[in-house]
Chain A
Amino acid sequence: MNIIKIMDHLSDSELLNKKGSRRDSFDQLRTLGKNLAVASIPFGLAATSSKTRAATMAMPASFMMASPTEILNFALALEYLERNFYQMGLDTSGLIPSEDQAVFAQISKHETSHVDFLLAALGDDAIEEPTFDFTGAPGGLNLDTFSNYQTFMALAQGFEDTGVRAYKGQAGGLIDDDALLTYALQIHSVEAQHASQVRRMRGEKGWITKSENTLPSAFDAIYQGSTPESNLTQGGVNLSGMFNSVGGDKAVTESFDEPLTMDEVNAIASIFIV
Chain B
Amino acid sequence: MKNKVKVSEVGSIKNGRRRFLKLSGAAVVGSGILLMAGCSDDDDAPLPPNGIFDLGTGDLGVLNYAYALEQLEADFYTRVVNNANFRSAFSENEQEVMTDLYYHEVIHRDFFKTAIGAAVGNDESLMLPILEFDYAGLDFSNRDTVLATSQSLEDTGVRAYNGAGKLLSDPGYLLIAGKIVSVEARHASAIRNIIATGTIDGSSSSAFAGDDVIDPVTGLGQAFPPKEIIAAAGGFITTPFTYMEQGVG
Cα distance A196–B154 when bound, in Å?
A: 13
Q: Which of A168, A193, A236, A244 contacts B27 (CB 8 A)?
A: A236
Q: Which residues of B contact A259 (CB under 8 A)?
A: 175, 178-179
Q: By the criterion of a CB under 8 Å from any partner CB, how many residues of chain A are at the interface?
A: 63
A235 with B34: CB separation less than 8 A: yes
For A102, A181, A192, the residue with the greatest tally of chain B CB atoms inside 10 Å of its CB is A192
A129 → chain B closest CB, angstroms: 17
Q: Which residues of B contact A239 (CB under 8 A)?
A: 16, 20, 107, 111
A274: interface (CB < 8 Å): no
State which of A5-13, A17-25, A171-179 sits at the interface with chain B: A171-179
Knowing A187-B220, A234-B111 are in contact, say whether A200-B100 is a contact too (CB < 8 A).
no
A247 with B175: CB separation less than 8 A: no
Q: Which residues of B contact A254 (CB under 8 A)?
A: 100, 103-104, 183
Interface range for B: 35 or more
B165 with A171: CB separation less than 8 A: yes
Cα distance A200–B194 when bound, in Å?
A: 11
Flag A188-203 by CB within 8 Å of B: 1 or 0 each: 1111111111001101
CB nearest neighbor in B for A186? B220
* Interface residues, chain B, with chain A CB atoms under 8 Å away: 10-13, 15-16, 19-20, 23-24, 27-28, 30-34, 97, 99-100, 102-104, 106-108, 110-111, 114-115, 118, 158, 161-163, 165-166, 168-169, 171-172, 174-176, 178-190, 192-193, 200-201, 203-206, 208-210, 214-223
A257 with B182: CB separation less than 8 A: yes
B107 with A186: CB separation less than 8 A: no
Cα distance A261–B214 when bound, in Å?
A: 26
Knowing A192-B186, A193-B221 are in contact, say whether A200-B103 is a contact too (CB < 8 A).
no
Q: Which of A164, A183, A246 contacts B102 (CB 8 A)?
A: A246
A30: interface (CB < 8 Å): no
A200 with B27: CB separation less than 8 A: no
Q: Which residues of B contact A168 (CB under 8 A)?
A: 175, 178-179, 182
A171 with B107: CB separation less than 8 A: no
B181 with A189: CB separation less than 8 A: yes
Q: Which of A102, A114, A164, A178 contacts B219 (CB 8 A)?
A: A114
Besides the known contacts A236-B24, A239-B111, 16 further A-B residue pairs in the complex with CB atoms under 8 A apart? A106-B208, A113-B219, A182-B162, A182-B163, A188-B181, A189-B161, A194-B189, A195-B186, A195-B189, A196-B185, A200-B200, A201-B203, A207-B183, A243-B10, A243-B13, A243-B110
Cα distance A187–B118 when bound, in Å?
A: 32
B204 with A189: CB separation less than 8 A: no
Q: Which residues of A contact B114 (CB under 8 A)?
A: 237
Q: Which of B182, B183, B189, B220 contacts A183 (CB 8 A)?
A: B220
Q: Which residues of A contact B222 (CB under 8 A)?
A: 186
A221: interface (CB < 8 Å): no
Q: Which residues of B contact A195 (CB under 8 A)?
A: 186, 189
A185 with B161: CB separation less than 8 A: yes
Closest 7 CB pairs of A and B: A113-B219, A236-B31, A236-B27, A192-B185, A242-B16, A106-B206, A247-B103
For B102, B171, B216, the residue with the greatest tally of chain A CB atoms inside 10 Å of its CB is B171
B221 with A182: CB separation less than 8 A: no
Flag A87-118 by CB within 8 Å of B: 1 or 0 each: 00000000000011011011101111110010
A235 with B209: CB separation less than 8 A: no
Q: Which residues of B contact A251 (CB under 8 A)?
A: 100, 103-104, 107
8 A Cβ contacts from A235-267 to B? 235-239, 242-247, 251-252, 254-259
Q: Which of A107, A203, A244, A247 contacts B100 (CB 8 A)?
A: A247
8 A Cβ contacts from A128-175 to B? 164, 167-168, 171-172, 175
Cα distance A188–B24 when bound, in Å?
A: 29
A205: interface (CB < 8 Å): yes
Q: Which residues of A contact B102 (CB under 8 A)?
A: 246
A228: interface (CB < 8 Å): no
B191 → chain A closest CB, angstroms: 10
Cα distance A184–B19 when bound, in Å?
A: 35
A176 → chain B closest CB, angstroms: 9
B34 with A193: CB separation less than 8 A: no
Cα distance A39–B189 when bound, in Å?
A: 36
Cα distance A192–B186 when bound, in Å?
A: 6
B162 with A185: CB separation less than 8 A: yes
A243 with B12: CB separation less than 8 A: yes
